[in-house]
Amino acid sequence: RFRLDIRKKFFTMRVVKHWNRFPREAVDAPSLEVFKARLDGALTNLV
């Protein structure tokens, strides 16, 4: 039997919700290093 909730198991379906919550300045970072630094700062503010 085909399971209708199979989409929930896909990586993209699980990650998009979290990606959309990232601060815009982190997502629009020009490099990976800048992205990591900005994301670290944003996550530090949450704790």
Chain mean position to CA 5: 21
- CA diameter of the chain: 46
Top-confidence residue, 1 or 3: 3
Whether this prediction's pTM lies above 0.85 is answered by no
Average pLDDT value for residue range 30-36: 95
Average pLDDT value for residue range 20-44: 91
Q: In which residue are the tokens 């503010």 written?
A: 45
Q: Residue 14 pLDDT > 70, yes or no? A: yes
- 33: number of Cβ within 10 Å: 9
pLDDT of 33: 96
Reading the block at residue 31, the tokens are 């490099």
pLDDT of 42: 87
Q: Residue 5 pLDDT > 60, yes or no? A: yes
Show me where the domains of the chain are located: 1-45
